[in-house]
A = this chain, B = another copy of it.
Amino acid sequence: MNTTHHSLIKAAYGQKVDRVPVWLMRQAGRILPQYRAIRNKLSGFKELIKTPELAAQVTIQPVDELGVDAAIIFSDILVVPEAMGLNYNLVEQKGPSFPSTIETREDIDKLKVLQHDEDCPYVGQAISLTKQELNGRVPLIGFAGAPWTIFAYMIEGTGSKAFARARKFLYQQPVLSHQLLSKITASTINYLRAQVDHGASIIQLFDSWAGILPPDQYRTFGLSYIERICSAFPDVPVIVFPKGAYYARQELAEVDCRVVSIDWNMDPRETRDLLGDVKTLQGNLDPALLYAERSEVQAATKSMIEAFGRKRYIANLGHGVYPDTPLDNVKAFVDAVKEYG
Protein backbone atom coordinates (compact mmCIF):
# COMPACT_ATOMS: atom_id res chain seq x y z
CA MET A 1 0.00 0.00 0.00
CA ASN A 2 1.61 3.23 -1.12
CA THR A 3 1.15 5.95 1.48
CA THR A 4 3.29 8.70 -0.03
CA HIS A 5 0.20 10.81 -0.69
CA HIS A 6 -0.44 11.17 3.05
CA SER A 7 0.26 14.55 4.58
CA LEU A 8 2.51 13.08 7.30
CA ILE A 9 4.83 11.51 4.73
CA LYS A 10 4.73 14.55 2.49
CA ALA A 11 5.54 16.84 5.42
CA ALA A 12 8.42 14.55 6.40
CA TYR A 13 9.86 14.85 2.89
CA GLY A 14 9.38 18.62 2.92
CA GLN A 15 6.65 18.56 0.28
CA LYS A 16 3.70 20.91 0.23
CA VAL A 17 0.68 19.75 2.25
CA ASP A 18 -2.91 20.99 2.33
CA ARG A 19 -2.96 20.91 6.10
CA VAL A 20 -0.43 20.35 8.90
CA PRO A 21 -0.56 16.65 9.87
CA VAL A 22 -1.10 15.80 13.53
CA TRP A 23 -0.63 12.81 15.83
CA LEU A 24 0.31 12.35 19.49
CA MET A 25 3.05 10.34 21.08
CA ARG A 26 1.37 7.66 23.24
CA GLN A 27 -1.96 8.28 21.52
CA ALA A 28 -2.69 4.55 21.71
CA GLY A 29 -3.10 4.11 25.42
CA ARG A 30 -4.85 4.97 28.64
CA ILE A 31 -6.37 8.23 27.41
CA LEU A 32 -8.84 6.14 25.37
CA PRO A 33 -11.71 4.28 27.07
CA GLN A 34 -11.52 1.74 24.24
CA TYR A 35 -7.91 1.02 25.21
CA ARG A 36 -8.69 0.70 28.91
CA ALA A 37 -11.49 -1.75 28.13
CA ILE A 38 -9.04 -4.07 26.38
CA ARG A 39 -6.13 -3.51 28.75
CA ASN A 40 -8.17 -4.17 31.87
CA LYS A 41 -9.05 -7.65 30.65
CA LEU A 42 -5.40 -8.63 30.36
CA SER A 43 -2.81 -9.71 32.89
CA GLY A 44 -0.33 -7.07 31.84
CA PHE A 45 1.01 -4.58 29.35
CA LYS A 46 3.37 -7.12 27.82
CA GLU A 47 0.51 -9.47 27.02
CA LEU A 48 -1.02 -6.68 24.96
CA ILE A 49 2.24 -6.03 23.10
CA LYS A 50 2.69 -9.72 22.35
CA THR A 51 -0.82 -10.39 21.05
CA PRO A 52 -0.77 -9.03 17.47
CA GLU A 53 -4.57 -8.89 17.09
CA LEU A 54 -4.94 -6.78 20.21
CA ALA A 55 -1.88 -4.62 19.50
CA ALA A 56 -3.30 -3.87 16.05
CA GLN A 57 -6.68 -3.03 17.55
CA VAL A 58 -5.31 -0.48 20.06
CA THR A 59 -3.02 0.95 17.38
CA ILE A 60 -6.05 1.83 15.26
CA GLN A 61 -8.26 3.14 18.10
CA PRO A 62 -6.89 6.72 18.09
CA VAL A 63 -7.32 6.97 14.31
CA ASP A 64 -11.03 6.25 14.76
CA GLU A 65 -11.54 8.11 18.02
CA LEU A 66 -9.29 11.15 17.65
CA GLY A 67 -9.01 11.52 13.89
CA VAL A 68 -5.21 11.73 13.96
CA ASP A 69 -3.24 11.63 10.70
CA ALA A 70 -1.09 8.64 11.62
CA ALA A 71 -1.11 5.43 13.59
CA ILE A 72 1.93 4.35 15.60
CA ILE A 73 2.35 0.67 16.24
CA PHE A 74 1.53 -0.21 19.84
CA SER A 75 4.68 -1.61 21.37
CA ASP A 76 7.49 -0.73 23.79
CA ILE A 77 11.09 0.34 23.26
CA LEU A 78 12.30 -2.40 25.62
CA VAL A 79 11.25 -5.28 23.36
CA VAL A 80 14.68 -4.84 21.73
CA PRO A 81 16.81 -5.57 24.83
CA GLU A 82 14.41 -8.41 25.62
CA ALA A 83 14.88 -9.91 22.17
CA MET A 84 18.64 -9.57 22.70
CA GLY A 85 18.32 -11.75 25.80
CA LEU A 86 17.75 -9.29 28.64
CA ASN A 87 14.32 -9.87 30.09
CA TYR A 88 12.39 -7.02 31.72
CA ASN A 89 9.30 -6.51 33.84
CA LEU A 90 6.89 -3.70 33.28
CA VAL A 91 4.75 -2.44 36.12
CA GLU A 92 2.42 0.29 34.93
CA GLN A 93 2.85 3.55 36.84
CA LYS A 94 6.16 2.26 38.21
CA GLY A 95 8.09 1.80 34.99
CA PRO A 96 10.30 -1.00 33.72
CA SER A 97 12.86 -3.01 35.64
CA PHE A 98 15.46 -5.55 34.52
CA PRO A 99 16.10 -8.43 36.96
CA SER A 100 19.68 -8.66 35.61
CA THR A 101 21.69 -5.85 34.08
CA ILE A 102 24.80 -5.61 31.92
CA GLU A 103 28.02 -5.31 33.91
CA THR A 104 30.82 -7.16 32.13
CA ARG A 105 32.23 -8.06 28.73
CA GLU A 106 30.77 -11.55 29.21
CA ASP A 107 27.32 -10.06 29.72
CA ILE A 108 27.64 -8.20 26.43
CA ASP A 109 29.05 -11.24 24.61
CA LYS A 110 26.08 -13.31 25.75
CA LEU A 111 23.61 -10.90 24.13
CA LYS A 112 22.42 -11.85 20.70
CA VAL A 113 21.87 -9.50 17.81
CA LEU A 114 18.14 -9.39 17.15
CA GLN A 115 17.44 -10.96 13.79
CA HIS A 116 14.89 -9.80 11.28
CA ASP A 117 11.52 -10.95 12.63
CA GLU A 118 12.74 -14.10 14.31
CA ASP A 119 13.25 -12.66 17.77
CA CYS A 120 10.09 -10.67 18.18
CA PRO A 121 7.77 -11.84 15.43
CA TYR A 122 4.73 -10.37 17.19
CA VAL A 123 5.68 -6.81 16.21
CA GLY A 124 5.83 -7.62 12.50
CA GLN A 125 2.58 -9.53 12.77
CA ALA A 126 0.88 -6.62 14.54
CA ILE A 127 2.10 -4.26 11.81
CA SER A 128 0.80 -6.50 9.02
CA LEU A 129 -2.59 -6.76 10.70
CA THR A 130 -2.72 -3.02 11.34
CA LYS A 131 -1.87 -2.20 7.72
CA GLN A 132 -4.59 -4.51 6.54
CA GLU A 133 -7.17 -2.95 8.85
CA LEU A 134 -6.09 0.63 8.15
CA ASN A 135 -6.44 -0.06 4.46
CA GLY A 136 -4.46 3.06 3.53
CA ARG A 137 -6.45 5.50 5.64
CA VAL A 138 -3.36 6.86 7.39
CA PRO A 139 0.31 5.87 7.36
CA LEU A 140 1.71 3.62 10.09
CA ILE A 141 4.69 4.76 12.15
CA GLY A 142 7.20 2.16 13.32
CA PHE A 143 9.56 2.96 16.17
CA ALA A 144 12.44 1.96 18.39
CA GLY A 145 14.40 3.43 21.26
CA ALA A 146 17.63 5.14 20.27
CA PRO A 147 20.71 3.11 21.23
CA TRP A 148 21.82 5.36 24.13
CA THR A 149 18.39 5.16 25.77
CA ILE A 150 18.27 1.36 25.43
CA PHE A 151 21.84 1.16 26.74
CA ALA A 152 20.86 3.32 29.74
CA TYR A 153 18.09 0.89 30.74
CA MET A 154 20.26 -2.20 30.16
CA ILE A 155 22.98 -0.90 32.49
CA GLU A 156 20.84 0.93 35.04
CA GLY A 157 18.15 -1.72 35.28
CA THR A 158 15.33 0.78 35.87
CA GLY A 159 14.29 4.30 35.06
CA SER A 160 16.28 6.83 37.05
CA LYS A 161 16.60 10.57 37.57
CA ALA A 162 20.29 10.72 36.77
CA PHE A 163 21.14 7.26 35.29
CA ALA A 164 24.36 7.58 37.30
CA ARG A 165 25.19 3.90 36.90
CA ALA A 166 24.82 3.98 33.11
CA ARG A 167 26.85 7.17 32.92
CA LYS A 168 29.51 5.70 35.20
CA PHE A 169 29.79 2.81 32.73
CA LEU A 170 30.39 5.25 29.85
CA TYR A 171 33.29 6.83 31.75
CA GLN A 172 34.78 3.64 33.18
CA GLN A 173 34.21 1.29 30.24
CA PRO A 174 34.25 3.30 27.02
CA VAL A 175 35.35 0.31 24.92
CA LEU A 176 32.66 -1.98 26.32
CA SER A 177 30.16 0.86 25.97
CA HIS A 178 30.83 1.12 22.26
CA GLN A 179 30.65 -2.66 21.96
CA LEU A 180 27.23 -2.74 23.62
CA LEU A 181 25.97 0.27 21.68
CA SER A 182 27.07 -1.36 18.41
CA LYS A 183 25.18 -4.52 19.28
CA ILE A 184 22.08 -2.54 20.21
CA THR A 185 22.40 -0.55 16.98
CA ALA A 186 22.68 -3.65 14.80
CA SER A 187 19.64 -5.12 16.57
CA THR A 188 17.69 -1.91 16.16
CA ILE A 189 18.43 -1.72 12.45
CA ASN A 190 17.20 -5.30 11.97
CA TYR A 191 14.17 -4.61 14.13
CA LEU A 192 13.21 -1.44 12.24
CA ARG A 193 13.87 -3.11 8.88
CA ALA A 194 11.39 -5.81 9.85
CA GLN A 195 8.85 -3.11 10.74
CA VAL A 196 9.35 -1.42 7.37
CA ASP A 197 9.09 -4.73 5.52
CA HIS A 198 5.80 -5.40 7.27
CA GLY A 199 4.44 -2.00 6.31
CA ALA A 200 5.70 0.85 8.51
CA SER A 201 5.91 3.92 6.25
CA ILE A 202 7.99 6.09 8.54
CA ILE A 203 10.01 5.37 11.68
CA GLN A 204 10.71 7.27 14.87
CA LEU A 205 13.72 6.90 17.17
CA PHE A 206 12.92 7.80 20.78
CA ASP A 207 16.00 9.04 22.62
CA SER A 208 14.19 9.62 25.89
CA TRP A 209 17.38 10.05 27.95
CA ALA A 210 19.40 12.10 25.48
CA GLY A 211 19.19 15.12 27.77
CA ILE A 212 21.24 13.71 30.63
CA LEU A 213 24.53 13.41 28.74
CA PRO A 214 27.02 16.25 28.39
CA PRO A 215 27.26 17.45 24.77
CA ASP A 216 30.57 15.73 23.94
CA GLN A 217 29.38 12.39 25.31
CA TYR A 218 26.09 12.62 23.46
CA ARG A 219 28.01 13.13 20.25
CA THR A 220 30.18 10.05 20.89
CA PHE A 221 27.70 7.64 22.48
CA GLY A 222 24.39 8.98 21.22
CA LEU A 223 24.36 10.78 17.90
CA SER A 224 26.93 8.58 16.16
CA TYR A 225 24.70 5.52 16.62
CA ILE A 226 21.60 7.43 15.58
CA GLU A 227 23.50 8.35 12.42
CA ARG A 228 24.23 4.70 11.75
CA ILE A 229 20.54 3.84 11.99
CA CYS A 230 19.45 6.76 9.82
CA SER A 231 21.97 5.77 7.12
CA ALA A 232 20.50 2.28 7.06
CA PHE A 233 17.10 3.67 6.03
CA PRO A 234 17.53 5.75 2.88
CA ASP A 235 14.14 4.45 1.73
CA VAL A 236 11.99 5.59 4.68
CA PRO A 237 11.73 8.94 6.46
CA VAL A 238 13.21 8.84 9.95
CA ILE A 239 12.04 11.01 12.86
CA VAL A 240 14.63 11.55 15.60
CA PHE A 241 13.36 12.61 19.03
CA PRO A 242 16.37 13.61 21.15
CA LYS A 243 14.47 14.57 24.30
CA GLY A 244 16.31 17.20 26.30
CA ALA A 245 19.36 17.38 24.03
CA TYR A 246 18.83 21.00 23.04
CA TYR A 247 22.59 21.39 22.63
CA ALA A 248 22.62 18.79 19.83
CA ARG A 249 20.17 20.53 17.52
CA GLN A 250 22.75 22.08 15.24
CA GLU A 251 24.52 18.75 14.84
CA LEU A 252 21.23 17.06 14.03
CA ALA A 253 21.07 19.15 10.88
CA GLU A 254 23.93 16.95 9.60
CA VAL A 255 22.28 13.67 10.55
CA ASP A 256 20.58 11.83 7.72
CA CYS A 257 17.06 11.99 9.12
CA ARG A 258 14.06 13.82 7.67
CA VAL A 259 12.36 14.96 10.87
CA VAL A 260 13.53 16.20 14.27
CA SER A 261 10.97 16.01 17.07
CA ILE A 262 11.43 18.55 19.87
CA ASP A 263 10.24 18.68 23.48
CA TRP A 264 8.28 21.51 25.11
CA ASN A 265 11.39 23.26 26.44
CA MET A 266 12.75 23.95 22.98
CA ASP A 267 11.72 27.11 21.21
CA PRO A 268 10.27 26.37 17.73
CA ARG A 269 11.67 29.51 16.06
CA GLU A 270 15.12 29.09 17.57
CA THR A 271 15.10 25.44 16.53
CA ARG A 272 14.23 26.39 12.94
CA ASP A 273 17.15 28.81 12.95
CA LEU A 274 19.50 26.13 14.27
CA LEU A 275 18.36 23.35 11.95
CA GLY A 276 17.74 25.39 8.84
CA ASP A 277 15.45 24.37 6.03
CA VAL A 278 16.75 20.85 5.65
CA LYS A 279 14.63 19.23 8.35
CA THR A 280 10.96 18.92 9.10
CA LEU A 281 10.19 19.69 12.74
CA GLN A 282 7.73 17.82 14.93
CA GLY A 283 6.28 18.85 18.28
CA ASN A 284 6.02 20.39 20.83
CA LEU A 285 3.00 21.31 22.97
CA ASP A 286 3.60 20.77 26.70
CA PRO A 287 1.64 17.57 27.46
CA ALA A 288 0.57 19.15 30.76
CA LEU A 289 -1.13 21.96 28.85
CA LEU A 290 -3.82 19.43 27.91
CA TYR A 291 -4.93 19.65 31.56
CA ALA A 292 -5.90 23.31 31.04
CA GLU A 293 -9.24 24.75 29.88
CA ARG A 294 -10.35 23.79 26.38
CA SER A 295 -10.03 27.39 25.17
CA GLU A 296 -6.46 27.53 26.44
CA VAL A 297 -5.65 24.30 24.59
CA GLN A 298 -7.02 25.82 21.40
CA ALA A 299 -5.12 29.08 21.80
CA ALA A 300 -1.85 27.35 22.66
CA THR A 301 -2.18 25.00 19.68
CA LYS A 302 -2.70 27.95 17.38
CA SER A 303 0.34 29.78 18.79
CA MET A 304 2.39 26.62 18.39
CA ILE A 305 1.53 26.30 14.70
CA GLU A 306 2.32 29.96 14.14
CA ALA A 307 5.69 29.55 15.86
CA PHE A 308 6.65 26.51 13.76
CA GLY A 309 5.05 27.76 10.55
CA ARG A 310 2.99 25.52 8.28
CA LYS A 311 5.89 24.33 6.16
CA ARG A 312 7.96 21.26 7.03
CA TYR A 313 5.97 20.72 10.18
CA ILE A 314 4.18 17.86 11.97
CA ALA A 315 2.05 18.87 14.94
CA ASN A 316 2.51 16.78 18.07
CA LEU A 317 3.12 17.11 21.79
CA GLY A 318 6.58 17.67 23.23
CA HIS A 319 6.42 14.18 24.82
CA GLY A 320 3.92 11.37 25.26
CA VAL A 321 0.40 12.35 26.30
CA TYR A 322 -0.13 11.80 30.06
CA PRO A 323 -2.44 8.84 30.77
CA ASP A 324 -4.99 10.86 32.77
CA THR A 325 -5.39 13.65 30.21
CA PRO A 326 -9.08 14.51 29.61
CA LEU A 327 -10.07 12.98 26.28
CA ASP A 328 -11.97 16.11 25.26
CA ASN A 329 -8.82 18.15 25.50
CA VAL A 330 -6.89 15.67 23.38
CA LYS A 331 -9.62 16.04 20.78
CA ALA A 332 -9.51 19.83 21.14
CA PHE A 333 -5.79 19.70 20.34
CA VAL A 334 -6.26 17.54 17.24
CA ASP A 335 -9.22 19.59 16.07
CA ALA A 336 -7.39 22.86 16.63
CA VAL A 337 -4.56 21.70 14.37
CA LYS A 338 -7.06 20.66 11.72
CA GLU A 339 -8.83 23.99 11.97
CA TYR A 340 -5.83 26.30 12.00
CA GLY A 341 -3.29 24.08 10.25
Q: A residues bordering B, Cβ < 8 Å?
A: 159, 161-162, 164, 167-168, 170-172, 211-215, 217, 244, 246-247, 264-267, 286-289, 291-292, 296, 318-319, 322
Contacts and interface: CB of A to CB of B under 8 A. Distances in A.
Q: Specify which of A164, A265, A319 lies most central, judged by the most chain B CB atoms within 10 Å of its CB.
A: A265
B265 A322 contact: no
B164 A265 contact: no
A247 B289 CA distance: 19
A211 B159 contact: no
A291 B171 contact: yes
Copies of this protein in the complex? 2
Given A162-B322, A296-B171, A215 B288 contact: no
Given A171-B289, A246-B246, A289-B171, A267 B215 contact: yes
Contact of A164 (B170, B244, B288): B288
Contact of A168 (B212, B215, B288): B288
Nearest to A291: B168
A167 B286 CA distance: 10
Contacts of A212: 265
A265 B162 contact: no
A247 B286 CA distance: 15
A322 B167 CA distance: 11
B164 A161 contact: no
A265 B161 contact: no
22 contacts: A159-B161, A161-B161, A162-B287, A162-B319, A164-B287, A164-B288, A164-B322, A167-B286, A167-B291, A170-B288, A171-B288, A171-B296, A213-B265, A214-B264, A214-B286, A214-B318, A215-B265, A215-B267, A244-B265, A246-B246, A246-B265, A247-B265
